[in-house]
Amino acid sequence: MKYMLLIYGNQEKWSAIPAETWPAEIAKQDAFNRKYQETGELLGAYGLADAAASRLVRRTDGPPAVTDGPYLETKEYLASLYLLDCQNEERAYEIAADMPWADVEPVEVWPVLHEAAADL
C-alpha cells in the first residue's frame, strides 16, 4: 500500500534554524532517505520551493490563467512530501515517526487510494 508523508513549514521556521546546524540536519535527512530507499519503502522524497514560488493555474471558459499563489489561510505551507510503498498502515506510522524532526513537528500520513499508470 502506498502512503504519502507530508511535512509543513514556513520561511520563518527555516530561518530560525542556526546556519551552522544545517549540514547536520541535512545529513540526518539524507540518512533517513537512504535507509528507506534501501528497504524499497521510500519511492521518492521531494522538498518544495518556498510558497512565494508557487503558482495557481485556473481555466474557466477560455485560456488558462496563471497567477501568484497559493492563497494560504495559515503561516504553514507544504514543504516536503515523501512517497512510501510499505506493508501496512502501522509500518507507514513507524517510518513517519523515524523522520528527523518528527519529535518537533508532526508528519501527516495519507493513504494513497488511487494510482494512475505513469506510462499512459
- Each residue's pLDDT tens digit, 20-59: 998 999 999 999 999 999 999 999 999 888 777 888 888 8
The burial of 81, by beta-carbon neighbours within 10 Å (0-12 exposed, 13-18 middle, 19 or more buried), is given as middle
Predicted model pTM: 0.83
57 found inside a domain: no
- Among candidates 2, 33, 15, which has minimal Cα distance to 100? 33
pLDDT of residue 114: 87
Residue 82 lies in a domain: yes
Q: Is residue 40 part of a domain?
A: yes
Cell of 98: 523515524
Highest mean predicted confidence (pLDDT) among 2-6, 15-19, 72-76, 99-103: 2-6
Evaluate whether residue 33 is within a structural domain.
Answer: yes
Q: Give the residue-averaged pLDDT of 83-110.
A: 95
Q: How far apart are CA 61 and CA 52, in angstroms?
A: 27
Domain of 102, CATH number, reads 3.30.70.1060
Q: Are strands 2-9 and 42-47 parallel, antiparallel or unpaired?
A: unpaired
Whether 24 maps to a domain, the answer reads: yes
Number of domains in the chain: 1
Grid cell, residue 48, equals 518544495
Residue 70: pLDDT band with limits 50, 70, 90: low
- Domain assignment present for residue 68? The answer is no
Q: Do the domain assignments include residue 43? A: yes
Is residue 21 assigned to a domain? yes
Domain that holds residue 88: 2-51+76-111
* DSSP reduced 3-state for 68: strand
